[in-house]
A and B are shown apart, each in its own frame.
Chain A
Amino acid sequence: MSDHDHTHSHKPAPMVDEVSDFEILEMAVRELAIEKGLFSADDHRRWTEYVHTLGPLPAARLVAKAWLDPEYKKLCVADGVEASKAVGVNWVTSPPTQFGTPSDYCNLRVLEDTPKVKHVVVCTLCSCYPRPILGQSPEWYRTPNYRRRLVRWPRQVLAEFGLQLSPDVEIRVGDSNQKTRYIVMPVRPEGTEGWTEDQLAEIVTRDCLIGVAVPKPGVTSNAKRPVRKAIHPVHHDHDH
């Protein structure tokens, strides 16, 4: 239906000073917004820095803590926003706004997997994602393809991610279509008896927290996938 074989037919990277229409418009919009006093250059820098602090580690620690502490696990399920505080994420006051991030709101729900129920998350309408506790969404999560198919053919899509579950396990797809944001709390795997919180957090990857993977001892990163390179990738040295 659509040709996705374009990763290898990339044009050679343009010379350093060549800019795309997107880059020109981006600069134009940002400069105008600042000139008109809509936000300041400092605001923009602060937001960029805030985004650089975000990643999946706090969510992984939340799961590890819950595995070790049944009372904390209950809190996670009852009140994800309150439980986030224990891993350093205050959904209201961690972001520079002091009223939450505009796009991610303040209503985290932790979806607890059991041996009988496996959760997996999608936003069919756009790509809503719990950034304050999980970082930026992966590219595949944003695709129309994932958003079309996961709600209707979840077992097929999960199989493509390497996850096949018994028919008596209920797969529950969470479509985060409004203000709630979800993370999945997977079942603690066998072979982790006596592990510390750090050891447990290490095996709870971003893919596990979305629900397309399950944690396994010895597996501390997402499954390897092709990475589409950027022409002018993000600087990570904080002086943009």
Chain B
Amino acid sequence: MSSSTREEVLRHLRTVAYLQPALHKQTHAPAPDEIDHSLYRAYTRPVHDVGGEADVPIRWEEKEEEQWELNTFATCECLAWRGVWNAEERRRRQNVDVGQTVYLGLPYYGRWLLTAARILVDKQYVTLSELSNKIEEVKKRYEQKSAR
């Protein structure tokens, strides 16, 4: 019935508020009987679904865009333009698959970027070795620049 679903929905929203990333709070893969339905729902929920969770007033800010952020946006749209993925695949990976900690722990465009890197490997366009080598190559390029 509708009212018990609403109760569950509201209990879920309260429970999720307890499940925030916290550096000092540890879990070590509990036994199944330590996870009731509320916790199961909280852990397995798609993490982008934040509507209705409690939060406090903050100062609303604008932000200057980084060049790498604009580049990342263009990369993600070009990947979709040329058929590597569609935007919904991107959102699913970027806003849910990353998991709760990265979702709230890394910057907005940090997730876009990680997700773009990941799709290249997942769809076998590059191997992880190729990606790692390229990261190393780019790093070295900049180390050499600074050394000059």
Contacts and interface: CB of A to CB of B under 8 A. Distances in A.
> So, do A and B actually touch in the complex, CB under 8 Å?
yes
A147 B48 CA distance: 10
A44 B57 contact: no
Contact of B51 (A17, A140, A175): A175
Nearest to A20: B68
B77 A47 contact: yes
A96 B81 contact: yes
Nearest to B72: A26
B75 A33 contact: yes
B139 interface: yes
A168 interface: no
Given A17-B146, A47-B81, A233-B67, A25 B55 contact: no
6 contacts: A28-B137, A29-B113, A138-B62, A151-B52, A225-B62, A234-B70
Contact of B113 (A26, A47, A51, A160): A26
Interface residues of B, number: 63
Contacts of B76: 103
B109 A38 contact: no
Interface in A3-56: 4, 7, 15, 17-20, 22-33, 36, 38-39, 43-44, 47-48, 51
Contacts, number: 200
Given A1-B55, A26-B71, A26-B72, A125 B49 contact: yes
A29 B139 CA distance: 13
A136 interface: yes
Nearest to A31: B134
Given A152-B51, A233-B65, A32 B142 contact: no
B108 interface: yes
Contacts of A196: none
Given A24-B138, A148-B53, A47 B78 contact: yes
B61 A140 contact: yes
Contact of A231 (B66, B134, B138): B66
A2 B72 CA distance: 27
